[in-house]
Chain A
Amino acid sequence: MTPLHVLHVDDEPDIREVAAMSLELDGAMSLTSAASGAEALDLLEAGCRPDVILLDVMMPVLDGPGTLARLRKLPDYEATPVIFMTARAQSSELDRYIGLGAIGVIVKPFDPMSLAASVRDTLAGAGG
């Protein structure tokens, strides 16, 4: 089975490291990390082709929603599933993120032991 390719975008290196440990433990996921929205867009333009993108909401310069808006304009990425990651889990915030085109939200701090399962569940919930 081809591993699920995840692009994780977060400006905090230690969070990227924990997410990498969590997702790689899964055994059926491959991971690419990016430290900013701009780096993520560069990777996508260079043909990164993830199956799903985990996108931190609050990042300097280009935040998560801004990154999502731009990647939707890239050829081949109009429909790539995006999951936002944020510490703000109020329903109004969640509705806003879904309205922006994300398929779901994973609340930070996430549980490292179940991050991979959360990604899969969110994808399954979106019919992915």
Chain B
Amino acid sequence: MNPSMEPLRGRFRERASRDLDLLRRHLAADDLGAAAVETTVHKLAGSAALFGFAEIGEAAGDIDRVFSVGRRPDREMLETLIARLVAAVAAEMERGPELEPSGRSSGGAETILIVEDDDLLRAQAERTLRGVGYQVICAAGGDELLTELDALPPVQLLFTDLMMPGAVSGEMLAREIRRRRPEVRVLFTSGRAGPGGDVPGGHFLAKPYRRDALAAMVRKVLDQPADDAIG
């Protein structure tokens, strides 16, 4: 994210928070046909993705299309769509602001290798870590990466999902990278269990994780001796 966009993102969050209140009030009052709702939704549809809030933009765009048809929208459908938009905005508010690049206490300049098969999670992790200053290399799985390890630029930390499609799991990948590059720290993540007992010392961040928790954990693992990072 362009650093000059950060204040704009902050202001968008403040505005979205006010929009959330308005939409909730109209939902509660069963008054979704009000002009204020249409305007609010339309403005969100036209701007949310511009500031990096694609999910909100998509939810608002769906409603805006309904409004644009011109005739009175189906009440039940509108209620469902607005509830989805409210949930998207509320989730963003819940997540809290992106970490500012100045938040160096949990940032750094090292290079992080992210291996995650979920496109959305991978993009979010990349954005979070880049946002606090790290260089980031991404891969969607371990199979291809393992065949090209020699061409991989120097990295200081591997942040990998444990369970991924393909033959190479996160643990296998971590072992192979550590065998060739013992200095690399390793941080595993998974929505299920942590790494097995045969990978002593492997750090683990459970999914779902907050962005600030990811940044803090990456910094913590980087600050430890590599020998402790994984067995």
Which residues of A approach B to under 8 Å, CB–CB? 12, 14-15, 17-18, 21, 58, 60, 85-88, 90, 93, 108-110, 112
- Closest CB in chain B relative to A98 CB, distance in Å: 16
Question: For chain B, which range describes its interface: under 10, 10 to 19, 20 to 34, or 35 or more residues?
Answer: 20 to 34
Q: Which residues of A contact B65 (CB under 8 A)?
A: 88, 90
Contact mask for chain B residues 7-29; partner A; CB cutoff 8 A; 1 contact, 0 none: 01001100000000000000000
Evaluate whether A110 and B50 lie within 8 angstroms (CB atoms) in the complex, with A14-B12, A87-B64, A90-B68 already known: yes
Q: List 19 A-B contacts (CB under 8 A).
A: A12-B43, A12-B47, A14-B8, A14-B47, A15-B46, A58-B42, A85-B46, A87-B46, A87-B61, A87-B64, A88-B68, A93-B68, A108-B46, A108-B50, A109-B46, A109-B47, A109-B48, A109-B49, A112-B50
Q: Is B46 a contact of A86 with CB atoms below 8 Å?
A: yes
CA distance A17 to B7 in the complex (A): 11
In the complex, which residues of chain A have a beta carbon less than 8 angstroms from the beta carbon of B43?
12, 58
Q: Assess whether B68 is in contact with A18, with CB atoms less than 8 Å apart.
A: no
A14 to B48 alpha-carbon distance, docked (Å) = 11
Contacts of A90 in B (CB 8 A): 65, 68
Contact B8 A17 (CB under 8 A): yes
Interface 1/0 per residue, B29-51 and A, CB below 8 Å: 00000000001001101111111
Closest beta carbon of chain A to B58's beta carbon, Å: 11
| Number of A-B residue pairs with CB-CB distance less than 8 Å in the complex they form | 45
Among B4, B43, B46, B49, chain A packs the most CB atoms within 10 A around the CB of: B46
A86 contacts across to B, CB distance below 8 A: 46
B4 touches A15 (CB 8 A): no
Which B-chain residue is minimally distant from A18 (CB atoms)?
Answer: B50
Contacts of B47 in A (CB 8 A): 12, 14-15, 108-109
Residue of A12, A14, A18, A90 contacting most chain B CB atoms (<10 Å): A14
Within 8 Å of chain A (Cβ to Cβ): is B57? Answer: yes
**In the complex the two chains form, what is the Cα distance from A110 to B11 in whole Å?**
18
A residues within 8 A CB of B57? 109
Report how far A15 CA is from B46 CA in the complex, Å.
9
B128 to chain A, nearest CB (A): 21
CB distance from B11 to the nearest CB of A (A): 6
Question: When the two chains form their complex, are residues A18 and B46 in contact, meaning their CB atoms are under 8 A apart?
Answer: no
Query: CB-CB < 8 A to A85: which residues of B?
Result: 46
Query: Shortest distance in angstroms between A116's beta carbon and chain B's nearest beta carbon?
Result: 15
Chain A residue contacts of B8, Cβ below 8 A = 14, 17-18
Instruction: Say how far A76's CB is from chain B's closest CB, in angstroms.
Output: 30
Chain B minimum-CB-distance residue to A107 = B46
* Complex contact A21–B4 (CB within 8 A): yes
- Residues from chain B with a CB closer than 8 A to the CB of A112 are 50
Q: What's the minimum C-beta distance from B208 to chain A, rounded to whole angstroms? A: 26
Given A87-B64, A88-B64, A93-B68, residue A15 in contact with residue B45 (CB < 8 A)? no
B70 to chain A, nearest CB (A): 9
Q: Smallest CB-CB separation from A110: which chain B residue?
A: B50
Instruction: Find chain B residues with CB under 8 A from A21 CB.
Output: 4
Which chain B residues border A15 with CB–CB below 8 Å?
A: 46-47, 50
Residue contact B45 to A87, C-beta cutoff 8 Å: yes
B73: shortest Cβ distance to chain A, in Å?
14
The chain A residue with its CB closest to the CB of B38 is A58
In whole angstroms, what is the CA distance A58 to B60 when docked?
Answer: 15
Chain B residues near A88: list those with CB within 8 A.
Answer: 42, 64-65, 68
